[in-house]
Chain A
Amino acid sequence: MKRSFDVLVIGAGPAGIAAALRAAECQRSVGLVDDNPSPGGQIWRGGVAHPNGGAPWLELLSRSSVTPLYGTRVLDQPAPGLLLAEAGETLVELRYQKLVLATGAREMFLPFPGWTLPNVMGAGGLQALVKSGLPIAGKRVVVAGSGPLLLAVAATLRGYGAEIVGVCEQASWRNLATFATRLGWRKLGQAVRLKRELVGVPFYTDCWPLSAAGHGKVERVLVSHRGSPREWACDYLACGFHLVPNTELAALLGCQLENGFVKTDRCQQTSVADVFCAGEPTGIGGVELALLQGQIAGLCAGGDQSGVVELVAQQRAMRPFAARLAKAFALRPELTALATPETLVCRCEDVTLARLRECNSWREGKLYTRCGMGPCQGRVCGPATQFILGWQPESVRPPVFPARVESLLAAASNAEVNTEPNAAMNAATNPYKNPGERS
């Protein structure tokens, strides 16, 4: 299947939806791609009345001229202006004049003994499952890790009837107090509302999971709270250590990264011509910042910059919040010692920390242990080894997600047909020439 758009937006979370709508208002043809079956991203995931202003945006989107391309996952850019994607078993060629990357963030996971047990999930992971129908009423849930997401998750789960055993935040009380005193009225209001929804739920700071245990699935969790161990029985452990940006596609396209985030100018333009980026890949700043950046990117990609100045001023004012967020929830060094030598760090290839300690770099780890070579391609273990071992991630290669061999073959045969005259992808650089050599 072949589609062509003036503006193509990758990611249908808040930033992507805002970008798509603003670009469509500029009378451009707009395609909105997401690998999930419906729009909204993680924060506006379906089924319930969306807090944080999701409903009006989703309503606008449904009435707009934006072409939805959900259930579609981008694999590669074989030539400038062309992306290859898979929708189920169909290979999709997406041509664009301007591209907006709004690929969002994922949870940061840290390995600790028992973290691979079934029912130990990401905090956002369990929230996603519950929002898409998993019954949680009466189940005992420990929510642990770091970041504002923990409270939001606890409130959601409690709303569905879960018994929240405790919320464990690794950050110190002092850091959180400093953060809270500098929240604006609007965010303070959100915090107060969350607090009201969580009355009676124990909230522990300076607290993190030491291990999880159980037969066949998690049954109990041992945590450290202000230096003392505590053990709780539970049905689920929802655990995430704040967020890491999804920058793989931006990196593949050659966009410059700075401190792990995609570098953009005031128009959300990346270092690559015609490629814009908005939301969490440019810095973890939350939904309001993402909506502003998405609108800026959409207007600039759409070619109507008249409303941009005001939006840029608004998003500048929110920048300090992102910096304070990162500082308040910075991971404490004790967490580097959670994994024991026997703990699996790479869940795809079952590689223990002991085996990784014999290596000196991400590359060595890949070569000698297959760490990061499985289906997630290092999306889970990469940030963990960066934190625990100080390893730096290396270049991203296509396909950015595992793909069906049929897609690779179809892409390769298309590439041969398309080689001339725009031979941006020649035989020497054709990543699909030998589908067996993928990593």
Chain B
Amino acid sequence: MSEEISIQVNGRAIMVPAGATVAVAVTMAGDVCRTSVSGEARGVLCGMGICFECRVMINGHTHCRSCQILCAPGMEVVTGKSGAP
């Protein structure tokens, strides 16, 4: 149960419990998910795939809802401007 996996968030290795969502990893890293159209930093709001505030780039794919995607070993996550439109 206490198994941990390592993923990259903005180039840094973050250890998360197995079964954690990418949103958890980004929040644990202390990073924001995206930058809004007027330049505000945004983090997770709804945690259930409704609000789209948590979207980030995962393995090169933009606009991924990090709260609905599980971390996988070696995953590369980029947040901030990369996740914004």
Contacts and interface: CB of A to CB of B under 8 A. Distances in A.
A135 B47 contact: no
B36 A217 contact: no
A129 B51 contact: no
B15 to A, nearest CB: 11
Contacts, number: 109
A349 B37 contact: yes
Interface in A369-413: 374-376, 379-380, 402
A217 B30 CA distance: 10
A71 B68 contact: yes
Given A122-B46, A129-B44, 16 more contacts: A36-B68, A107-B46, A116-B42, A119-B27, A125-B44, A128-B47, A129-B24, A132-B19, A132-B24, A133-B19, A246-B50, A348-B37, A348-B52, A376-B52, A380-B45, A380-B50
Given A71-B68, A129-B24, A347 B47 contact: no
B50 A133 contact: no
Interface string B18-50: 011101100110001000111011111111111
B51 A347 contact: yes
A106 B50 contact: yes
A128 B67 contact: yes
A350 B36 contact: yes
Interface residues of A, number: 42
Given A116-B42, A134-B28, A349-B37, A376 B68 contact: no
Contacts of A380: 45-46, 50-51
Contact of B53 (A124, A217, A347): A347
Interface in B53-69: 53, 55, 61, 63, 67-69
B46 A118 contact: no
A126 interface: yes
A47 interface: yes
Contact of A118 (B17, B42, B47): B42
6 contacts: A122-B46, A129-B21, A135-B28, A350-B38, A374-B52, A376-B51
Contact of A347 (B28, B32, B42, B63): B42
A31 B36 CA distance: 37
A25 to B, nearest CB: 29
A121 interface: yes
A46 interface: yes
Nearest to A246: B50
B13 interface: no
A347 B36 contact: yes
A109 B43 CA distance: 15
A119 B50 contact: no
B70 interface: yes
In the A-B complex, the 6 residue pairs with the closest CB atoms? A133-B20, A118-B43, A125-B47, A128-B47, A375-B52, A350-B38
B78 interface: no
Contacts of A350: 36-38, 40
Contacts of A126: 47
Interface residues of B, number: 34
A35 B23 CA distance: 15
B interface: dominant SS: loop
A73 B61 CA distance: 17
A118 B24 contact: no
A376 B42 CA distance: 14
Nearest to B68: A36
B36 A35 contact: no
Contacts of A89: 61
A133 B21 contact: yes
B36 A133 contact: no
A47 B2 CA distance: 11
Nearest to A404: B63
Interface in A81-127: 89, 106-107, 109, 116, 118-122, 124-127
A128 B44 CA distance: 11
A121 B44 contact: yes
A156 interface: no
B46 A125 contact: yes
A107 B50 CA distance: 9
A106 B52 CA distance: 13
B20 to A, nearest CB: 3
Contact of B32 (A118, A127, A348, A374): A118
B52 A402 contact: yes
B9 interface: no
Contacts of B69: 37
A42 interface: yes
A125 B16 contact: no
A306 B35 CA distance: 55
A125 B45 CA distance: 6
Contacts of B42: 116, 118, 347
Interface in A31-59: 35-37, 42, 46-47
